[in-house]
């Protein structure tokens, strides 16, 4: 059954419910390993992210896997999502605002809400934007995640396309810095242990049903690898300087491919995109890292 404007209005009017959550240092350490940190076991700067006796730094984009709650959301909270075609869904964009550096472990308060539903047309699909706000247990803000999902089969419900997020514009000059991030063929297996068990990324049969010759890497793993590259190349591994990290996903990545991160810095903004070395294909575009 297709969605309706009544569904949209009802969903957008729902007040977010704050639920208790949390994570341990095992979660933040595993994430750093999953995006490629610690491959050189003698790299002192990366050891601060993957070995608790060396430091307690947390990769900012770990926020994408540290937002689970200890109890399920109310059934009605996903009212509109139940009527959308997940088989034709793509992860379009990911945004992150960092209010305070992430601690290695924390008890949290998590709330989710749908912020927009945009109609691109009957043959062009629909966009759904959502926001996850995470606080520490004492109420102090930690980070806010923003997501855009593209539902290819759900356009034409009578809504508007006005107000959808506008992608960041990259500079036209040559990159100021380039960093190659080699992938591992088993990387999706490791990243899945961070919480995303979608079999599309590990089961060859399901990948073929979805139109891929082999399982593809999680988009959010590539997102984390881009953050790793920016930290390494532009911020001397100082994660406390990172205040925001936004991207648009533009192509799937195959496990083992080398992701070449091209970066430009203008004042407090580091623009970036990610190109696949083996196929000369851009997989992440319109990247924007805000620093302080």
Give yes or no on whether 5-151 and 177-291 have one common fold. Answer: yes
Say how far apart CA 274 and CA 284 lie, in whole Å.
5
Residue 135 binned pLDDT confidence (cut-offs 50, 70, 90): very high
Question: Does the pLDDT of residue 78 top 70, yes or no?
Answer: no
Question: Does the pLDDT of residue 88 top 90, yes or no?
Answer: no
Question: Does the pLDDT of residue 1 top 60, yes or no?
Answer: no
Contacts of 138 (CB under 8 A, 6+ apart): none
Active-site residues, by number, are 196, 201
Q: What angle do CA 99, 105, 108 make, to 5 degrees?
A: 60
Helix (H, G, I), strand (E, B) or coil at 181: strand
Say how far apart CA 44 and CA 61 lie, in whole Å.
20
Q: What is the pLDDT of residues 146-175, one digit of tens each?
A: 999 998 888 888 888 888 899 999 999 999
How large is the greatest C-alpha to C-alpha distance in the chain, in angstroms? 57
Backbone φ and ψ for 204, nearest 5 degrees, come out as -60, -35
Domains of the chain, by residue range, sit at 5-151, 177-291
Q: What is the reported pLDDT for 87?
A: 73
Backbone φ and ψ for 20, nearest 5 degrees, come out as -75, 140
Q: How many residues does the chain have?
A: 292
Question: Does the pLDDT of residue 200 top 60, yes or no?
Answer: yes
Q: What is the reported pLDDT for 151?
A: 87
Q: In what order do the strands lie in the sheet with 259-266?
A: 19-23, 106-121, 125-136, 141-151, 89-98, 242-249, 281-291, 269-276, 259-266, 177-181
Say how far apart CA 146 and CA 129 lie, in whole Å.
7
Residue 80 binned pLDDT confidence (cut-offs 50, 70, 90): low
DSSP code, position 41: T
Q: Does domain 177-291 have CATH number 3.10.129.10?
A: yes
The closest of 198, 179, 167 to 90, measured between CA atoms, is: 198
- What are the angstrom distances between the C-alpha of 265 and each of 42, 55, 80? 29, 28, 40
Do residues 38 and 32 touch, judged by C-beta distance below 8 A?
Answer: yes
Q: What is the reported pLDDT for 21?
A: 97
Say how far apart CA 157 and CA 97 lie, in whole Å.
31
Q: What is the reported pLDDT for 100?
A: 98
Residue 185 binned pLDDT confidence (cut-offs 50, 70, 90): very high
**This prediction's pTM:** 0.94
Fold topology of 5-151: Thiol Ester Dehydrase; Chain A (3.10.129)
Q: At what angle do helices 219-234 and 25-34 cross, to 10 degrees?
A: 90
Q: What is the reported pLDDT for 152?
A: 81
Of 2-6, 57-61, 74-78, 230-234, the least confident: 74-78
């Amino acid at each position: 059954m297709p969605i309706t404007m009544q569904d949209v209005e009802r969903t957008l009017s729902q007040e977010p419910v704050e639920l208790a959550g949390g994570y341990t240092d095992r979660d933040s350490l595993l994430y750093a390993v999953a995006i490629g940190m610690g491959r050189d076991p003698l790299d002192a700067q990366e050891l601060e992210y993957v070995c608790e006796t060396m430091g307690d730094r947390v990769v900012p984009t770990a926020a994408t896997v540290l937002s689970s709650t200890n109890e399920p959301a109310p059934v009605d909270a996903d009212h509109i999502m139940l009527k959308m075609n997940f088989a034709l869904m793509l992860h379009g964009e990911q945004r992150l605002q960092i209010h305070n550096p992430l601690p290695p472990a924390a008890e949290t308060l998590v709330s989710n809400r749908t912020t927009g539903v945009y109609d691109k047309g009957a043959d062009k699909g629909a966009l759904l934007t959502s926001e996850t706000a995470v606080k520490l247990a004492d109420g102090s803000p930690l980070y806010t995640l923003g997501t855009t999902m593209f539902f290819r089969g759900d356009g034409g419900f009578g809504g508007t396309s006005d107000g959808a997020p506008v992608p960041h514009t990259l500079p036209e000059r040559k990159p100021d810095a380039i960093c190659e991030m080699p992938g591992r063929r088993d990387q999706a297996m490791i990243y899945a242990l961070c919480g995303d068990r979608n079999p599309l990324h590990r089961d060859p049969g399901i990948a073929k049903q979805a139109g891929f010759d082999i399982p593809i890497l999680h988009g959010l793993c590539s997102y984390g690898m881009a953050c790793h590259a920016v930290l390494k190349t532009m911020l001397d591994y100082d994660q406390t300087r990172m205040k925001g990290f936004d991207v648009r996903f533009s192509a799937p990545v195959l496990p083992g491919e080398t992701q070449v991160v091209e970066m430009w810095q203008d004042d407090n903004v580091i623009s970036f995109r990610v190109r696949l070395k083996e196929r000369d294909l851009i997989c992440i575009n319109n990247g924007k890292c805000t620093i302080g």
